[in-house]
Amino acid sequence: MYLSDPPYENYFYSDHNVSAQFVGTSPIPGSDLSIIGPRFIVAWPAGNSGACVFFQPENGKNGTLHIEVINSTTGSPLAPVHIERDDAYPSVGVQGIIKFNSAAVLSTPILGSIRAIRDFTEGPSLLYPKIQEDVRTKHLDGHGVSVTRCWFDNVTTTTLTFQPRSSGSASVNDDKATFEAGEYLFSAHINYPQLERLGLHDILKDERLLDEHPKETKGLSFLSYSDKLLAGGWRFLTYFGRDDMISTLLL
C-alpha cells in the first residue's frame, strides 16, 4: 500500500512473516529546510522499533538532495527480507531501491524504539548516548555500507545495508558513510518475533465495508494484531493503552 503526503511518501508492506512501514522524506518547494530534510524511516509494529537515517548533501547546499524510492525487479517498490539465523529469530524486514540525485552523507542514524526516534524527530533533537554508542557503521564488500545496532538484550539486532546498483559506490570514514549519486539496494531487517496480524473478518462485523471502503479497510488490516490495535503509523506503531481503547471504541 502506498500513501503520498508530500514531502512524505509512505509505503506499507505486510505478509505472514513481517509488517513494516517505510517513510521517505525529501524537501519540496516551500519546505521549511530547518525541519524538513532527506531521511527515511523503516518502522516495525513488532518490538515497537524502527530505523531512521538522515542524509545531507555532500556539497553542503541544503535542500538540493532528494531521495526517491523506485520500482524495480527487486520490489514494487518494497519486497520482503527473510534471513534465517541459528542463534535467534530470523531477521525479517523490507528491501527496495532508493536513488540519490546527488552525492549524500549519512549524517545521523537512529536504530532503536519508535519512542527514541520520535524524541529526535519531534522533540528537541534528543539522542540517547546509550543507544547511539552501539550503532556501528561499516564498509561492505562491493562498495556497500552496513549500519547495525545490537539491542540491550545482546541478541536482537537492527540492520540496514546499502549496496550500489550498476553505478556508484559508498565509503565509510570516521563512522560517516558517503554515497555517490545513483541507485542503491537498501535492506532493513530485525531479528525480533513478529506479531500475529488479524484478518479483517475478525475485526469488522459488516463485511460490506470491505467493498465500500477498500483503501481504509486495507489500512486497518495493517494496524490490527492479536497483541494490539494500533492508532496509526509510523509514530504510533507502539504500545499505547489509551490508543488501543480509542481504536476499539472507533471500531
Per-residue tens of pLDDT for the chain, all 251 residues: 888 999 999 999 999 899 999 999 999 999 999 889 999 999 999 999 999 999 999 988 899 999 999 988 888 899 999 999 887 799 999 999 999 999 999 999 999 999 999 999 988 899 999 999 999 999 998 789 999 999 999 999 999 999 999 777 899 988 899 999 999 999 999 999 999 998 888 888 888 888 898 888 888 888 889 888 888 889 887 666 677 777 777 77
Q: Assess whether 71 and 142 both reside in one domain.
A: yes
Residue showing cell 540496514: 160
Q: Judge if 66 and 124 occupy the same domain.
A: yes
Domain span including residue 42 = 2-190
Q: Do 66 and 16 share a structural domain?
A: yes
Query: Structural domain tally of the chain?
Result: 2
109 and 226 fall within a common domain = no
Residue 10 resides in a domain: yes
Q: What letter represents residue 59's amino acid?
A: N
What pTM value is reported for the model?
0.91
The reply to whether 151 falls in a domain is: yes
- Residues in CB range of 223: below 8 A, 6 or more apart: 45, 229, 230, 231, 232, 233, 247
Q: Are residues 214 and 142 in the same domain?
A: no
Residue 195 lies in a domain: no
Could you tell me where the beta strands, DSSP code E, fall in 37-152? 39-44, 49-57, 67-70, 79-83, 91-100, 104-113, 135-140, 144-150
| Shared-domain flag, residues 131 and 217 | no
What totals of helices (H) and strands (E) does the chain contain, helices first? 6, 15
Considering the domain architecture, whether residues 90 and 124 belong to the same structural domain is answered as yes
123 with 164, same domain? yes
Asked if 94 and 49 sit in the same domain, the reply is: yes
Q: Tell whether 186 and 207 lie within a shared domain.
A: no
Q: Are 211 and 194 in contact (CB under 8 A)?
A: no
As a whole number of angstroms, the longest Cα–Cα distance in the chain is 57
- In this structure, the answer to whether residues 43 and 121 fall within a common structural domain is yes
* C-alpha 64: how far from chain center: 22
Tell me which of 142, 168, 190 is where a domain ends. Answer: 190
Same domain, 24 and 139: yes
Which cell numbers in the block locate residue 124?
528537541
